[in-house]
Amino acid sequence: MEENICSYCKAGVSQVEVHCENCGFPLIGTEKEKAIWIGRQTMRKSKIDNSAKMVGKTRIILYVLAGFQVLNAILVYVKFSSIIDVVFYLVVAALLATFGYLSPKKPILFVSLALCVMLGYYFLLYLADPILLYSGILWKCAIVMALLYTLYDAIESHNLKKKYKL
Ligand SMILES: [Zn+2]
């Protein structure tokens, strides 16, 4: 079998292949088919780039949320001197900051974990006093939606990467 190279990814391909095994490039397609394939591949790449940027923004949201929890910790300490509450808020802050920090490495895992922390936190607020959950409910919904959307986008991006080996 004579060896050729794929003109898109430069991987070695055998002459009998219709599509490059590495990237899926239509090796024996017409010029038009090749151009369409390159266009689509470029779009997939930019979708993956955008998803990474969104994870970057979500990371900042998680840092801001962690900052608010530190503020909560300070407030409960000043108001009630309640060490248990202080520890609780600081733990939530530490988890959010950690998951935010790690999110670019494994977006699906760490955005999911951050979402669990926020939902758990809201659930505890609700148990403590339903009024606490309803105050700023729109913000809370917006945060959950943003995390869910980032997660959905990260899963799509992951699937694209896997399927097209990008
Ligand atoms: Zn290729």
d(CA 15, CA 12): 10
Find out whether 101 and 59 touch, Cβ atoms under 8 Å.
Answer: yes
The verdict on residue 31 lying in a domain is no
The verdict on residue 79 lying in a domain is yes
The verdict on residue 29 lying in a domain is no
Q: How far is the CA of 27 from the centre of ligand 1 (A)?
A: 8
Taking Cα atoms as reference points, which of 112, 71, 73, 104 lies closest to residue 89?
73
Residue 3, pLDDT score: 67
Question: Can you name the residues that pair with 3 across neighbouring β-strands?
Answer: 14
The verdict on residue 55 lying in a domain is yes
Q: What is the dihedral angle through the alpha carbons of 132, 134, 140, 144, rounded to the nearest 10 degrees?
A: 110
Q: How far is the CA of 56 from the centre of ligand 1 (A)?
A: 30
Question: For the chain, what percent of residues have pLDDT higher than 90?
Answer: 77
Looking at the 3D structure of the chain, how many domains does it have? 1
The verdict on residue 30 lying in a domain is no
**Residue 82 binned pLDDT confidence (cut-offs 50, 70, 90):** confident
Region 142-154: mean pLDDT is 97
The verdict on residue 121 lying in a domain is yes
The verdict on residue 105 lying in a domain is yes
The verdict on residue 19 lying in a domain is no
Q: How far is the CA of 116 from the centre of ligand 1 (A)?
A: 39
Q: How far is the CA of 162 from the centre of ligand 1 (A)?
A: 14
The first and second tokens of residue 79, run together, are 């108001």
Residue 1, pLDDT score: 45
